[in-house]
């Protein structure tokens, strides 16, 4: 018997952290992702004990698993500029502590952009950034599933593959595998983004392309390291190296490709989190419903 797929969404924390839980439940989602602070600024308001407690209680009551926190956009773990690198490392460490306080199962981060530096130096810098950021925090990997994950340091960092825009690293599965090998002493795994995968040149839009992509995953970091899938169609074509998300079935990847993904035994055990657009015509409710239809 096939394992039941899990579908969720990236929920806004506008109006308070606990609002993200009610927004998730309202869309018939079973798991969710949030930003734990303003994603577009360096400064973060400290979390109050009361709001942390309320959030954890409301989430527990709703039975949502997993909870992923997405690192703020400004963080660049592979930065060649020393000032930006120092700020990024400080901010990422703060993100780890914030996520642990909220009981998150996963903290998702892009590996960063190397700028004018070569890929090897960029990867080495990202590795050192993660090592420095987790130091003395007692971080341990999240359990496969638990009613109260995120306590006692139980959380995994997930490196998200990128579209390959500019000088970003992590668009190649071998680069992700390289990062994981260098960080084998830290609970680090993979978040695979479908739009990024497609835009970086892995053609998951066709049956043959999906088989080829599965072989590429098996030959690099392996399916056991994928803990979360960011499920997005792509406004940009194959190998465009452009990161632009689209509603499920309305982009270059297409509805049938998502049907294949949802029914693949290789992917079916991994939670699918939507990061699709919210516009006048469609929002998360439409995309969640669409994905459930394709999964049935």
Catalytic residue among 70, 225, 247, 260: 70
Predicted local confidence at residue 147, as pLDDT:
47
Annotated catalytic residue within 51, 73, 174, 215 = 73
Burial letters for 169-203: b for 16+ Cβ neighbours within 10 Å, e otherwise?
bbbbbebbbbbbebbeebbbbbbbbbbbbbbbbbb
pLDDT at 1: 38
Tokens representing 216 are 């590429």
Predicted local confidence at residue 141, as pLDDT: 83
Q: What pLDDT was estimated at residue 150?
A: 53
Question: Is 196 annotated as catalytic?
Answer: yes
Going from the C-alpha of 59 to that of each of 63, 123, 166, the distances in angstroms are: 6, 35, 38
User: Would you state the pLDDT for residue 235?
Assistant: 98
Q: Is 245 a catalytic residue?
A: yes
- Asked if residues 197 and 141 have their Cβ atoms less than 8 Å apart, the reply is no
Decide if 7 contacts 27 (C-beta within 8 A): no
Q: Which residues contact 26 (CB under 8 A, 6 or more apart)?
A: 285
Does 185 qualify as catalytic in the annotation? Answer: no
Residues whose CB is less than 8 angstroms from the CB of residue 130 and which lie 6 or more positions away in sequence, other chains included: 77, 92, 157, 183, 186, 188
Residues whose CB is less than 8 angstroms from the CB of residue 208 and which lie 6 or more positions away in sequence, other chains included:
none
CB 159 within 8 A of CB 191: yes
Mark whether 73 is an active-site residue.
Answer: yes
| Catalytic-role residue among 10, 37, 93, 245 | 245
Please say if 281 is a catalytic residue: no
Query: 243 catalytic, yes or no?
Result: yes
Identify the DSSP state of 113. B
Instruction: Determine the pLDDT at residue 140.
Output: 86
Choose, from 30, 160, 189, 233, the residue flagged as catalytic.
Answer: 160
The CATH classification number of 7-295 equals 3.20.20.150
* Active-site position among 37, 56, 59, 196: 196
Output the DSSP codes for 51-65. HHHHHHHHHHHHT--
Can the peptide bond before residue 85 be classed as cis, meaning omega within 30 degrees of 0?
A: no
Specify whether the CB–CB gap between 256 and 295 falls below 8 A. no
pLDDT by residue, tens only, the chain of 296 residues: 346 899 999 999 999 999 999 999 999 999 999 999 988 889 889 999 999 999 999 999 999 999 999 999 999 999 999 999 999 999 999 999 999 999 999 999 999 999 888 999 999 999 999 999 999 998 988 876 654 445 567 999 999 999 999 899 999 999 999 999 999 999 999 999 999 999 999 999 999 999 999 999 999 999 999 999 999 999 999 999 999 999 999 999 999 999 999 999 999 899 999 999 999 999 999 999 999 999 99
Read off the pTM: 0.95
Q: Active site residue: 23, 59, 110, 260, which one? A: 110
Give me the residue spans of the domains in the chain.
7-295
Q: Which of 111, 18, 8 is nearest to 68 (CA)?
A: 8
């Amino acid at each position: 018997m096939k394992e039941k797929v899990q579908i969720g969404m990236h929920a806004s924390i506008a109006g308070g952290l606990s609002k993200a839980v009610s927004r998730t439940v309202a869309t018939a989602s079973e798991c969710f992702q949030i930003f734990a602070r303003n994603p577009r600024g360096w400064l973060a308001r400290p979390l109050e004990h009361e709001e942390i407690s309320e959030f954890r209680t409301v989430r527990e009551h709703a039975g949502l698993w997993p909870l992923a926190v997405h690192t703020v956009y400004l963080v660049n773990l592979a930065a060649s500029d020393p000032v930006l690198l120092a700020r990024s490392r400080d901010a990422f460490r703060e993100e780890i502590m914030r996520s642990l306080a909220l009981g998150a199962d996963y903290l998702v981060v892009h590996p960063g952009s190397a700028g004018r530096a070569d890929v090897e130096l960029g990867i080495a810098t990202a590795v050192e950034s993660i090592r420095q950021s987790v130091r003395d925090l007692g971080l341990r990997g999240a359990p496969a599933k638990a009613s109260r994950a995120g306590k006692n340091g139980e959380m995994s960092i997930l490196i998200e593959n990128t579209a390959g825009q500019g000088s970003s690293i992590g668009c190649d599965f071998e680069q992700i595998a390289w990062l994981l090998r260098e960080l084998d002493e830290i609970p680090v795994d993979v978040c695979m983004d479908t739009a990024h995968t497609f835009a970086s040149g892995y053609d998951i839009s066709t049956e043959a392309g999906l088989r080829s992509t599965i072989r590429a995953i098996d030959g690099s970091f392996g399916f056991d390291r994928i803990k979360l899938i960011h499920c997005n169609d792509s406004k940009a074509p194959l190998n465009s190296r452009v990161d632009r998300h689209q509603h499920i079935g309305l982009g270059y990847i297409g509805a049938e490709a998502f049907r294949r993904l949802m029914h693949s035994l290789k992917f079916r055990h991994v939670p699918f989190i939507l990061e699709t657009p919210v516009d006048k015509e469609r929002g998360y409710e439409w995309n969640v419903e669409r994905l459930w239809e394709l999964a049935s």
